[in-house]
Amino acid sequence: MGMHRLFIIPVALGLLTSCGQEAAGPEAVPVRVSVIKIRPQDTPVTYEFVGQTESASQVQIVARVSGFLDEMVYMEGSMVKAGDVLFRQDPKPFRAELSAAKGALSAQQARLKVARDNLARVQPLVALNALAQKDLDDAIGMEQAATAAVEIAKADVEQAELNLGYTTIRTPVSGASSYARVKVGSYLDAQNSLLTYVSPLDPMYVNFSLSENQKLQFATERKAGRLRAPPIDQYKVQVILADGTIFEKEGLITFADADFDQDTGTYRLRATFPNPDGTLRQGQFVRVRVIGWVRPNAILVPQKAVLQGAQGHFVIVVDKDNKAQIRPVEVGSWSGADWFINAGLSAGDAVIVEGLALVSPGNSVEIVQPVAGAAAPATR
C-alpha cells in the first residue's frame, strides 16, 4: 500500500494544474504511457496456511506387566518393523508364576480324575438301589466342581504365559522410533509404563486451521460468484518445507471438522499425503498450499497501477479519445504482484501501469508499450 500512496501526490497535483494548463494555452504534448488491456479470464488461486505433520497412527509402546526393565534392544530414533523387539523385562518372576500355575492345573486335573472315577462307581450302585440318590447327587456335584476348577487353572496358566510373553516388548507397527522414556533398571508399573513411541510415516497427516473470518469470506465470495470450488470440493494440497522446497507428493483434504474451536477461533482441517521415503516426520511445521479454487472471469491489475485516494481505490484508464480518466474500482485479494478487481473495470479497458507520475486526468496520452495482461496463479 505504501507504493500506492506515493502515486497519490503527483496525481493530485496533476488534478490541480491541468485546468490551468488547458486555459493558458494549447494542449501539451501527449504523455507517453504503458497500459495493460483488461482480459477477464478464469484464474486459479491458491491459499497458504501454517500446518503441522502428524503420524497417521502413532503408537505408544507401553509395559503391560509390572516389573524391572532388563534391556533396551532397539536404537533410539531408528526405523523399526512390526514385530521387532524393543525392550525386555526381567522374566524370572513370570516364569515362576507360570510354573506355579501349571502345578495348580495338574493338581486340579488329578482331583477331576478322582471325581470322575467316583461318579463312575456310584452311578451303577444307585441304579441297583445299593446307594441313596443323595450319594449320586454328591458325586455329580464333586465332578462338576472339579471340572470348573480345572478350567480356572487352565485360565491361570494362559494368563501366566501371556504375562511372561509381555516381558518381551515388541512394536505392533513399522515406523520411526522415538527415544526411550525410561532407563534400563527402572521398575515399570501402571504409573510408569510408557516406554517410547513408534510413528508410521506413510501416509502422513498434515493438520492446519481455517479461521472463522476466512471461512465466512470464502462463503461470501462463492455466493457472489467470484470464487468457484473444485468438483465435489476435492482440493489438492502441497506441502512447502522449511527450506522453501515443495514436497514431491501431493495430498488431499480428508477431514474437515464440523465443530468450531472456541479456544482458537478456527476450524481444523487435515490433509493426507503419501510419504514412502519418510521425508515428512512427526511434528514438523510446514506451509500448506491448498489448490483448486478458481476465480471465474477474473480481472487482474498490477498492484502499482492501483492508487488510493480519499474516496477509495482507483486506476487511471485511457478512454477512446486517448485521454486519461480516473476510474474507481473495488479491489479484492492480491495475486502475487497483481490485484484482483471485483468491480469497476471490464474487458477492453486500458489501464495505465507506467507513466502514472506524469499523467493528470484529462491529459492526452500516447500508448507506447502495451503490457501483457495475464498474471500468474494467485497465492495467498
Percent of the chain beyond pLDDT 90?
48
Average pLDDT, the chain: 86
Residue 230: pLDDT band with limits 50, 70, 90: confident
Residue 257 burial by Cβ neighbours in a 10 Å radius (0-12, 13-18, 19+): middle
Can you give the CATH number for the domain in which 315 is found? 2.40.420.20
Range of the structural domain that residue 140 is part of:
91-161
Give CA angle at 232 (293, 254), nearest 5°.
Answer: 85
Q: Are residues 172 and 261 in the same domain?
A: no
- Per-residue model confidence (pLDDT) at position 27: 54
- CATH number of the domain encompassing residue 83: 2.40.50.100
My answer on whether 130 and 108 are in the same domain is yes
Are 51 and 239 within 8 A, CB to CB?
A: yes
Same domain for 262 and 286? Answer: yes
User: Averaging pLDDT over each range in 10-14, 35-39, 94-98, which range is the top one?
Assistant: 94-98
| Least trusted range by pLDDT, from 67-76, 147-156, 159-168, 331-340 | 331-340
Nearest to 298 by CA among 246, 343, 257: 343
Mean pLDDT of 278-293: 92
- What is the model's pLDDT at position 372? 53
pLDDT at 333: 80
Q: Are 89 and 188 in contact (CB under 8 A)?
A: yes
Cβ-based burial of 36 (10 A; exposed 0-12, middle 13-18, buried ≥19) = buried
**For the domain that residue 51 is a member of, what is the CATH number?**
2.40.30.170
Tell me what the mean pLDDT of segment 231-254 comes to: 91
Domains held by the chain: number: 4
pLDDT (mean) for 189-217: 92
What's the distance, Cα to Cα, between the start and end of the chain in Å? 16
How much is the pLDDT for 162?
Answer: 96
Residue identified by cell 517410547 is 196
Question: pLDDT tier at 377 (50, 70, 90 boundaries)?
Answer: very low
pLDDT, average across residues 337-358: 87
Please check whether residue 225 is in contact with residue 296, taking contact to mean a CB–CB distance below 8 angstroms.
yes
If asked whether residues 190 and 63 sit together in one domain, one would say yes
The answer to whether 365 and 359 have CB atoms below 8 angstroms apart is: yes
pLDDT higher than threshold 90 for residue 112:
yes
Q: What is the pLDDT of residues 125-177, one digit of tens each?
A: 888 888 888 988 888 999 999 999 999 999 999 999 999 999 999 999 999 99
CATH number for the domain harbouring residue 151:
1.10.287.470
Q: Are residues 316 and 329 in the same domain?
A: yes
pLDDT band of residue 217 (cuts 50, 70, 90) is: confident
| Of the ranges 185-189, 320-324, 349-353, 355-359, the best mean pLDDT one | 185-189
Q: What per-residue confidence (pLDDT) applies to 336?
A: 76
Give, in order, the Cα–Cα distances in Å from 287 to each of 52, 336, 366, 377.
Answer: 8, 17, 45, 18
Looking at the structure, do residues 71 and 193 belong to the same domain, yes or no? yes
Residue 121 scores a pLDDT above 50:
yes
274 with 208, same domain: the answer is yes
255 with 216, same domain? Answer: yes
**pLDDT mean over 249-256:** 91
Higher pLDDT among residues 349 and 84, named by residue? 84
pLDDT at 12 > cutoff 80: no
Residue 370 predicted with pLDDT over 70: no
Same domain, 23 and 154: no
- Of 295, 310, 340, which residue sits at a domain end? 295
176 and 73 within one domain? yes
**pLDDT score recorded for residue 237:** 94
Q: What is the pLDDT of residue 4?
A: 41
Q: Would strands 350-354 and 312-318 be described as parallel, antiparallel, or unpaired?
A: antiparallel
- Is residue 212 domain-shared with residue 278, that is, in the same domain? yes
d(CA 268, CA 245): 25
% pLDDT > 70, the chain: 89
**Residues 273, 183 share a domain:** no
- Mean pLDDT calculated for residue range 64-76: 95
pLDDT at 68: 96
Beta bridge partners of residue 308, listed in sequence order: 313
pLDDT over 90 (residue 51)? yes
The pLDDT score that the predictor gives to residue 362 is 86
Rg (CA), the chain: 40
